Amino acid sequence: MSKYYCLIAGLPSLSPDDTKLTYSVSDFKSELEPLLSERDRQLMRWFYLKFDNRNLLSLVKKEPDDRFDGRGVYTLYNIKTLFQSLKEDDLIPKNSSFPAYFPTFIRAYLARIENEESIDFYMLEDYLSALYYAEAMKCGNEFLSSWFEMNLNMGNLLSVLNCRKYGLNKEQFIVGDNEIAGLLRQSGARDFQLGDAGEYMTELMQIVEEREPMVREKRLDALRWKWLDEQTFFKVFDIESVIAYMLRVEMIERWVALDKARGDKTFRRLVSDMKKESTDTLEEFKEKNK
């Protein structure tokens, strides 16, 4: 197994409270990925596929092409070609290297369109994530498999809670056949009898009950961060620590972007309020001076 002493030693330290980054996922992909062995690059591919997932969702939502995220494995042309081929002939293009869950997701989406069923893109996102984690669990690396299983459990649990909230059939949204998926399918209890099913499940059940989405996501990422610290404690210079570092970078990048978007929204609201206040003051002045 390859060791990455110089690579790990040269990476800037990270904290969950960081509000800016000196190093990004794109930086790593362009500058440091060539330093990895071929086997480890294939493992790292599973990390990049999460950006392809976002690009696929952007495509089915018919968002502008400029929303394309270049951090993924595939080009926009690749994804569009697969989608169109499945839509027209239900065929996967020759020499396609897409993971199996990509056509599975597209076919499920096209079936809903053909049956004129309503599309809930939040539910679609949960479904795609669950498919991704279920397949990635078979990557052959114990650390990554456990990471993907934890996220599969998170995705399944959130999907089932959404199904309960909106009166949907949970069977359509639970993916995988691990212990947690089985309990979610079978149990009608409020807590799905998950308390003793895993080391983090008690904490996870408490987190998913949080009603404020942003707070819930922050707490889920805090749980992920703690898990990464524990799992890589004795693998400081292995590929697991490299992947864990990139997972942390992606978390910070996401929250920095969300905080900026939230800041922009707040600024626009303040400007709007100021304009309204100015208009109200002007109208009051006119009334007084008629």
Q: Tens digit of pLDDT for each residue in 159-175?
A: 888 888 888 888 878 88
pLDDT at residue 260 is higher than 90: no
User: Domain residues for 260?
Assistant: 1-24+240-290
Q: Quick check: is 286 in a domain?
A: yes
Q: How far apart are CA 194 and CA 13, in angstroms?
A: 35
Grouping H, G, I as helix, E, B as strand and the rest as coil, residue 29 is: helix
H helical segments located in 3-120: 5-9, 25-27, 38-60, 76-89, 101-114
Query: Per-residue pLDDT averaged across 110-132, rounded?
Result: 86
Between 280 and 139, residue with greater pLDDT: 139
Domain count, the chain: 1
**Residue 247 lies inside a defined structural domain of this protein:** yes
Q: DSSP state, 67?
A: G
Question: Does pLDDT of 189 surpass 90?
Answer: no
282 in any annotated domain: yes
Query: Residue 159: its pLDDT value, please?
Result: 83
Contacts of 56 (CB under 8 A, 6+ apart): 79, 83, 102, 105, 106, 128
Q: Is residue 255 domain-resident?
A: yes
Q: Is residue 57 part of a domain?
A: no
Q: Yes or no: say if 223 and 230 are a contact pair by the CB < 8 Å rule.
A: no
pLDDT tens-place string over residues 42-90 = 999 999 999 999 999 999 999 999 989 999 999 999 999 999 999 999 9
> Rounded to an integer, what distance in angstroms lies between the CA atom of residue 180 and that of residue 166?
21
- Residue 122 and residue 106 in contact, taking contact as beta carbons nearer than 8 Å: no
Altogether, the residues listed in the chain come to a count of: 290
Tell me the pLDDT of the chain averaged across its residues: 85
Averaged pLDDT for residues 100-116: 92
* Cβ neighbours of residue 179 closer than 8 Å, sequence gap 6 or more: 197, 198
**Residue whose structure tokens are 């990509």:** 102
Could you tell me if residue 175 is inside a domain? no
Tokens of 19: 């509000």
- pLDDT value at residue 264: 53
202 within a domain of the structure (yes/no): no
Evaluate if residue 234 carries a pLDDT over 90: yes
pTM score over 0.95? no
Q: How confident is the model at residue 40 (pLDDT cuts 50, 70, 90)?
A: very high
